[in-house]
């Protein structure tokens, strides 16, 4: 059984930082693509970033480039999303997702098969 467990969300002031973690199990981690998606109330789900574990290739949405950094720790089967310079508009439920396609890129969410439960990130003024 594949499980993705997110952690690290919370309340932070604008300009602050948070680091999200996504711990994966039951998955061939080294051959996966792991993505972070977010959904704010009343808005569609948005792809934020992804990492292709095999070669650590990364992709970012324009809205987070230069502020967010995705990384992986293969020894822990964990992907991190370091979020800096947070803005009010970053407020959302953040979910990690996994695909067994090793080179999926930040494709549409429907191509990610496995999903975590999500973690709330709230940025306050």
Q: What is the pLDDT of residue 106?
A: 86
Q: What is the pLDDT of residue 108?
A: 87
Both tokens of residue 73? Answer: 């720790």
Q: What is the pLDDT of residue 102?
A: 87
Q: What is the pLDDT of residue 53?
A: 96
Res. 82: pLDDT tops 90: yes
Q: Are 8 and 120 contacting, i.e. CB atoms less than 8 angstroms apart?
A: no
Q: What φ, ψ does residue 31 adopt, rounded to 5°? A: -115, 20
Q: What is the pLDDT of residues 23-65, one digit of tens each?
A: 999 999 999 999 999 999 999 999 999 999 999 999 999 999 9
Res. 16: pLDDT tops 90: yes
Q: Are 58 and 105 contacting, i.e. CB atoms less than 8 angstroms apart?
A: no
Res. 79: pLDDT tops 90: yes
The residue-averaged pLDDT of 11-19 equals 98
The strand ranges marked E within 40-86 are: 46-52, 57-60, 68-73, 78-83
Q: What is the pLDDT of residues 96-106, one digit of tens each?
A: 999 999 888 88
Res. 107: pLDDT tops 90: no
């Amino acid at each position: 059984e594949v499980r993705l467990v997110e952690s690290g969300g919370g309340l932070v002031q604008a300009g602050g930082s948070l680091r999200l973690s996504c711990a994966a199990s039951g998955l061939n981690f080294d051959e996966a693509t792991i993505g972070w998606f977010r959904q704010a109330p009343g808005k569609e789900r948005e792809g934020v970033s992804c990492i292709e574990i095999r070669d650590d290739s990364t992709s970012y949405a324009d809205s987070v480039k230069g502020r967010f950094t995705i990384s992986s720790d293969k020894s822990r089967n964990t992907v991190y999303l370091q979020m800096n310079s947070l803005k009010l508009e970053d407020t959302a439920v953040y979910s990690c997702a996994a695909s067994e396609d090793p080179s999926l890129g930040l494709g549409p969410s429907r191509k990610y098969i496995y999903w975590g439960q999500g973690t709330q990130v709230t940025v306050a003024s």
